[in-house]
């Protein structure tokens, strides 16, 4: 039912031509009793959408357009498995539901285009990463940033246990295994038998870890480009590193069974690994911008960057986190910037408009903390030419 948030999805949403486009955003909760209010808030937002649609559409058209959203509101299983935030996007030809690892403000918009700013802002954050919680028998995957970490609900066709991954090829059916309590919350298996059966168990582990590496790379690391942190018992780190071919796996990991600690503790341990990687990334980006500027291929002037964005010349755009410039994109007829409604900062701002334009033109946009920005104007662009 839910869709993975990727740069490709953003491009599809920005290119949507069918009208009207409905955009719903709201914070959600993982557990009872906090999540009791989620469906009520969702239906209140939907009521606002109906009121807006009634101005232009017939009752029948509204019913058809809102049918999947109405069904979502009544799906108890869906609301029992939410995360921190929710985005629901609907047009005559598209229905997208996205679970977000961070809370977003309540918003209900009906317009000619999807409102994608909350999605783009999250996707463009430079501090995001994945954690692979791995044991000899199963794996779990998490997504986080410097503020939060959430477990990813894997699709049914992704095998996350050794039995599902190896199936009939599993060789341990000939082995008697006695389990004893192990460190970090995972049992340590003692193998009894003859004829190299311990080697067969090692072979199973290697094959399972290789499948995990390939699965995570194909479905998560490659589409997102996020660094990957391994969380596993010490004896599993070397084995996984030996079979791993995922270039996003960081050399440093967490030596603990991820399932044996709270999500809060795992997040803290993960950020200890990720923080220096994040700071190095920001340093490299700033250095790349300064070099580009010295070569005449970098600018922090809003007029110049707007010109470059409109002509598709921006390769990478850095936007200051939390900064809002209360203007709309320049009117091409008059050459001036139009002032926006200061009471609606969630809907639009100049930096967001330029960022959206860069996205449409195939450029990369990154949200950077204020103290790491290489400029004071709110943006900095690295140009293609």
In whole angstroms, give the CA distance from residue 130 to residue 135. 16
Amino acid 198: pLDDT: 61
Cβ-contact 7, 95 below 8 angstroms: no
Q: For 284, list phi and psi in degrees, rounded to 5.
A: -65, -40
* Residues in contact with 276: Cβ distance below 8 Å, sequence separation at least 6, in sequence order: none
User: Residue 147, Cα to own-chain centre: how many angstroms?
Assistant: 13
User: Residue 194, Cα to own-chain centre: how many angstroms?
Assistant: 48
Cβ-contact 281, 272 below 8 angstroms: no
Give the position of tokens 């009121």: 51
Amino acid 187: pLDDT: 47
Cβ-contact 200, 191 below 8 angstroms: no
Amino acid 186: pLDDT: 54
Q: Which mean pLDDT values do the consecutive 10-residue runs of the chain (385 residues) have?
A: 85 92 93 87 95 93 96 94 93 95 88 88 89 96 89 89 89 45 45 55 91 96 93 96 96 96 96 96 96 97 95 96 80 64 59 90 92 95 97
Amino acid 340: pLDDT: 54
Which string of b and e fits 113-148 if b means at least 16 CB within 10 Å?
Answer: bbbbbbbbbbbbbbbbbbbbbbbbbbbbbbbbbbeb
- Token digits of residue 56: 């232009």
How far apart, in Å, are the Cα atoms of 165 and each of 47, 85, 211, 290?
A: 45, 31, 7, 48
How far apart, in Å, are the Cα atoms of 289 and each of 263, 294, 296, 356, 382?
A: 36, 9, 10, 20, 6
Cβ-contact 178, 192 below 8 angstroms: yes
Instruction: Give the pairing type, strands 107-111 and 21-27.
Output: antiparallel
Entry pTM: 0.75
Amino acid 329: pLDDT: 77
HEC profile of 209-268: HHHHHHHHHHHHHHHHCCCEEEEECHHHHHHHHHHCCCCCECCCCEECCHHHCCHHHHHH
Q: For 138, list phi and psi in degrees, rounded to 5.
A: -160, 170
Count the neighbouring beta carbons within 10 Å of the beta carbon of residue 227: 19
Amino acid 16: pLDDT: 92
* Residues in contact with 185: Cβ distance below 8 Å, sequence separation at least 6, in sequence order: 257, 259, 260, 261
Burial of 384 (0-12, 13-18, 19+ CB in 10 A): middle
Helix (H) or strand (E) holding 151: strand 149-151
* Residues in contact with 84: Cβ distance below 8 Å, sequence separation at least 6, in sequence order: 27, 28, 29, 30, 100, 101, 102, 103, 148, 150
Amino acid 255: pLDDT: 97
């Amino acid at each position: 039912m839910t869709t993975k948030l990727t740069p490709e999805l953003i491009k599809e949403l920005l290119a949507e031509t069918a009208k009207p486009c409905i955009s719903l955003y709201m914070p959600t909760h993982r557990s009872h009793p906090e999540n009791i209010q989620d469906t009520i808030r969702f239906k209140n937002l939907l009521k606002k959408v109906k009121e807006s649609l009634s101005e232009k559409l017939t009752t029948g058209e509204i019913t058809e357009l809102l049918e999947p959203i109405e069904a979502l509101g009544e799906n108890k299983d869906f609301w029992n498995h939410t995360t921190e935030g929710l985005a629901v996007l609907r047009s005559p030809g598209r229905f997208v539901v996205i679970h977000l690892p961070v809370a977003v403000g309540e918003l209900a918009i009906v317009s000619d285009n999807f409102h994608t700013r909350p999605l783009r802002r999250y996707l463009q954050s430079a501090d995001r990463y994945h954690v692979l919680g791995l044991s000899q028998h199963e794996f779990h995957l998490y997504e986080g940033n410097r503020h939060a970490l959430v477990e990813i609900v894997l699709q049914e066709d992704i095998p996350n246990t050794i039995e599902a991954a190896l199936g009939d090829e599993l060789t341990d059916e000939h082995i008697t295994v006695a389990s004893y309590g192990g460190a970090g919350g995972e049992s340590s298996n003692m193998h009894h038998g003859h004829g190299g059966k311990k080697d067969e168990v090692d072979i199973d582990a290697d094959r399972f870890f290789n499948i995990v590496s390939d699965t995570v790379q194909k479905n998560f690391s490659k589409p997102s480009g996020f660094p990957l942190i391994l969380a596993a018992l010490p004896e599993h780190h070397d084995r996984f590193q030996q079979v791993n071919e995922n270039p996003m796996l960081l050399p440093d990991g967490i030596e603990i069974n991820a399932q044996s600690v709270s999500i809060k503790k795992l997040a803290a341990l993960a950020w200890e690994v990720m923080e220096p990687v994040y700071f190095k990334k920001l340093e490299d980006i700033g250095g790349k911008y300064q070099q580009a500027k010295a070569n005449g291929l970098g600018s922090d002037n809003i007029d110049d960057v707007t010109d470059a964005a409109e002509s598709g010349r921006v390769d990478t755009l850095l936007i200051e986190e939390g900064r809002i410039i209360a203007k709309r994109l320049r009117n091409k007829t008059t050459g001036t910037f139009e002032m926006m409604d200061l009471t609606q900062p969630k809907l639009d701002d100049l930096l967001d408009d330029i960022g959206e334009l860069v996205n449409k033109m195939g450029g990369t946009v990154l949200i950077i903390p204020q103290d790491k920005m290489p400029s004071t104007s709110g943006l900095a662009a690295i140009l293609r030419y």
